[in-house]
Chains A and B, each alone.
Chain A
Amino acid sequence: MNTLKRFAGVLWMISGPLAIYYLITTGMSEINKKPVIDTKIQWGVFIIVFIPIAVGIMIFGYYAIKGEYDHLPESSQEIKD
């Protein structure tokens, strides 16, 4: 199970840049198709909000690869830096 968790980490790490690429290309194409303020705000909001989340899933993937999730803490004493 732990091996699977670590391998899946690669998937999460890749999904971050893929999501950012999809967001930016689709956003640009939609803004070019309909260059009104509503479209710009909508896609601007989506891109600004989802990029940090995409970075978050990359960090999650990195932790998974490193084996941080092999054992989850049973108590707060186990949560260490």
Chain B
Amino acid sequence: MNQPTNEVQSIRRIIAASSVGTLIEWYDFYIFGSLAPVIASQFFPKTNPTAALLSTLATFAAGFIVRPFGALVFGRLGDLIGRKYTFLLTLIIMGSATFAIGLVPGYGTIGFAAPVIILILRLLQGLALGGEYGGAATYVAEHAPPKRRGFFTSWIQTTATLGLFLSLGIILITRHILDEDRIKSIAKFNDWGWRIPFLVSIFLVAISVYIRLRMRESPLYAKLKTEGRTSVNPLKESFTHRGNLKMVLLALFGATMGQGVVWYTGQFYAQSFIETVCKVDFDQSRTILLWAILFSTPFFVVFGNWSDKAGRKWIMMAGMLLAILTYRPLFGKLFMIADEKNKTELPDKKEINTTIKPIASTESSLRIVTTKRLFEDGMMLTETKTDTAYAAAERTTLKPDIKLSKQLGQTDYWMMVGIIFIMIIYVTMVYGPIAAFLVELFPTKIRYTSMSLPYHIGNGIFGGLTPFIALLLTTIYTGDKLVGLYYPIIVAAVCLLIGVLYLKGKIDPDVND
């Protein structure tokens, strides 16, 4: 009786120790992305073209290109020296880089060194993240009993979404607690308060390092090491041996590529869409995502657990198919919900305020006209139009700056939560079972290297570029606001076809090989 109880306690400790560290790494990675506009204003002034160039590089290179390199570097280490020390190292690198970002003086203080340091730290974050996930998933899977591998590894799968949840939550809280006056609080946050979420990370990392130091090496890897059967050159074995390379390619094109676009569309592009296309205000667009994440996260475990009975393949394929079939109607509905053309305005509630601010050393002024319109369903639309009021009456601003922000009514707000929830359910279907699926595809001695690369190409490149490519498509084909969805739909469709044709549905009972 005691032995199974001890085993359960032991595996729970392993899952908790691995998951907390992975969650913190995702948190560290996401706060940079979530605070990109603030960081850009502090470190990458648009007036300096080289700094602006570094900004673009920081956004692209670190988040997307560097992750697969991290997978190669740390995957190789994990197969050579062991899982435990490798993912301890990635955690320390990530935590130190994040903490350091919170300490770097701005461009105004140290000049050009500031964006260079930030770019280097962001690259380190990307490298560390590339090494972390494969280690954590492999470590848990190699401890899990064969019939519960999907269930146990699904806890690792919740961490990416929970890391996003934690980063959004801490950012929103910090943004509102720095002053009793909301506007002053946001101003303080943009000035110096943005550093807090980065600095907080050091405490989280310290706790996680302490927990991970007490962990033991994966039993399967320890056994290989004792028997002297570890790989001498994991990179060579993974990618130059035909037998293994074909499995790496199958994992990428038949699973992780589609999983990556479904994940990034459901969480990141959806949030960006409701904020930039539907014009829902900053706080609401984030709290909508927070609620949807909160309700849907348990489904990672539900589908991970189910995959132990039904197999990994068909759950992942069903998630992709649902995404392909419903993305356009779901995003169309999001757009329709926030569209004021479908609502009845209350004209007597309309408010117009004009503020004139003199522009120093000229006779002209800055004119800010704020128009607030209220609708029957409770939505408030705020239009802020900024232009220059010239001293010469005949001269007008050619293109005034117009910003729209919508505060949704309760019903619309919860409808959006519901739609994003559905999209994150697709994420849980494709992502919940994938760690177990990847672990089962590769042998122990090159598992860390072999599974990390397709995972980070699928998620970092195919998935991570989704918001950028979708936005780019809307600028090339301007007639359709939903044209950006063709990228995830086509990638997921190709992946679905390859997955259905070539993947096997059977669960590998023995990963001890």
Contact = CB atoms under 8 A, between A and B. Distances in A.
A63 B461 contact: no
Nearest to B53: A37
SS class of chain A's interface: helix, strand, loop or mixed? helix
A45 B65 CA distance: 9
Contacts of B245: 59
Contacts of A56: 249, 252-253
A19 B457 CA distance: 17
Contacts of A79: 241, 243-244, 247, 443
Nearest to A57: B253
A75 B245 CA distance: 15
B60 A45 contact: yes
Contact of B243 (A30, A53, A60, A81): A81
A37 B49 contact: yes
B52 interface: yes
B214 interface: no
A60 B247 CA distance: 9
A55 B244 CA distance: 17
Nearest to B503: A72
Contacts, number: 85
Contacts of B498: 12, 60
B510 interface: yes
A32 interface: no
B497 to A, nearest CB: 8
B504 interface: yes
B513 interface: yes
Per DSSP, are chain B's interface residues mostly helix, strand or loop, or mixed? helix
B243 A80 contact: yes
A61 to B, nearest CB: 10
B242 interface: yes
B246 A38 contact: no
Given A4-B501, A41-B57, A69 B476 contact: no
Interface string B192-207: 0000000000000000
A59 B513 CA distance: 27
A2 B106 CA distance: 60
Interface of B: 49, 52-53, 56-57, 60-61, 64-65, 241-247, 249-250, 252-253, 442-444, 457, 461, 465, 468-469, 472, 476, 494, 497-498, 501-504, 508, 510, 513
20 contacts: A5-B501, A37-B52, A42-B56, A42-B60, A42-B472, A45-B60, A45-B64, A59-B249, A60-B250, A60-B498, A63-B246, A69-B246, A74-B508, A75-B508, A76-B443, A76-B513, A79-B247, A79-B443, A81-B242, A81-B243
Given A57-B249, A74-B508, 6 more contacts: A4-B501, A5-B501, A41-B53, A41-B57, A46-B469, A68-B242
Interface of A: 1, 4-5, 8, 12, 15, 26, 30, 37-38, 41-42, 45-46, 49-50, 53, 56-57, 59-60, 63-64, 68-69, 72-81
**Which 5 residue pairs spanning A and B have beta carbons closest together?**
A76-B443, A76-B513, A79-B243, A60-B249, A63-B246
